[in-house]
């Protein structure tokens, strides 16, 4: 709505499969990658950290577990360590605390897969709400 207020682009919603793993969603994105050549925008909507049971008051600093996961995710994406991101449950600090259920992180894997192996990540927004919810946003573009 904010990006295209005239609603003049076609939209097709894709549901994540919480019973599958991150690699499955990355590969799903890879299957969508050829659509880029047709001008299709693949947009993943989720949250860099998402644990509703650990929310705090707005304006509070993020707890260490959330900050550590968010920093790891940022460093992994910006550093091109996409395989680590696909294996976040074993590689990331506090992965299970940051994402007790994976459905809010899997859209990132779809978008990452659609961007392709030679993509470059860029952090385009970073904010927190309720202390522990990170809304870090990334754009993936072709490497120069």
Number of domains in the chain: 1
CA 67 from centre of chain: 15
Q: Which of 34-38, 66-70, 120-124 has the lowest mean pLDDT?
A: 34-38
Domain that holds residue 26: 22-142
Classify residue 14: in a domain, yes or no: no
Q: Quote the strand ranges of 52-105, DSSP E.
A: none
Classify residue 3: in a domain, yes or no: no
Query: Of residues 15 and 100, which shows the higher confidence score?
Result: 100
pTM of the complete model: 0.91
Could you tell me the CATH number of the domain that includes residue 104? 3.40.830.10
């Amino acid at each position: 709505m904010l990006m295209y207020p005239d609603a003049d682009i076609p939209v097709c919603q894709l549901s994540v499969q919480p019973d599958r793993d991150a690699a499955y969603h990355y590969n799903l994105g890879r299957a969508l990658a050829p659509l880029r050549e047709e001008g299709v925008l693949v947009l993943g909507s989720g949250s860099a950290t998402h644990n509703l049971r650990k929310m705090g008051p707005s304006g509070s600093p993020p707890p260490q577990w959330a900050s550590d996961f968010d920093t790891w995710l940022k460093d992994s994406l910006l550093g091109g360590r996409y395989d680590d991101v696909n294996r976040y449950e074993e590689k990331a600090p506090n992965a299970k605390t940051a994402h007790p259920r994976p459905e809010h992180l899997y859209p990132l894997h779809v978008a990452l897969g659609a961007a392709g192996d030679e993509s470059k990540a860029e952090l385009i927004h970073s904010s927190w709400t309720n202390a522990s919810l990170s809304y870090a946003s990334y754009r993936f573009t072709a490497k120069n």
